[in-house]
Amino acid sequence: MAPMWRAGELKQCAQLRSLSVEGNRLATPVLDLRPLGALRSLQLFGNPLEYLPELSHCTALRHLSLANVRISADQVTPELLCLHKVA
């Protein structure tokens, strides 16, 4: 199955505040989130992700949902621990 988003398309969404890709069976991050500096909420739950996408550029991020995501403890950075918990 081909990715729904072509490379670079999210550059047009620089002011996007909330993104949900819940329950899409994603094993690896397929979206380049670098253009989304204004992103405040990201729902990744229900995806068997093996690792997290790069989030350091998402400086406005306040809510991150990782329920049912396969990540290891070494991927949880102090920045992620400061986010508000999303049920």
Per-residue pLDDT of the chain (87 residues; tens, 9 = 90+): 445 556 567 788 889 999 999 988 888 888 888 889 999 999 999 888 888 888 888 889 999 988 877 775 566 666 565 555 444
In 10 A of CB 19, how many CB atoms? 18
Q: Please tell me the predicted confidence (pLDDT) of residue 19.
A: 93
**pTM, whole model, 2 decimals?**
0.73
User: Based on the number of CB atoms within 10 Å of its own CB, is 47 exposed (0-12), middle (13-18) or buried (19 or more)?
Assistant: buried
Query: How far apart (Å, rounded) are the C-alpha atoms in residues 53 and 29?
Result: 6
| Contact by Cβ (8 Å): 45, 22 | yes
Determine the Cα angle at 80 with ends 78 and 81, to 5°. 65
All structural domains of the chain: 15-87 (3.80.10.10)
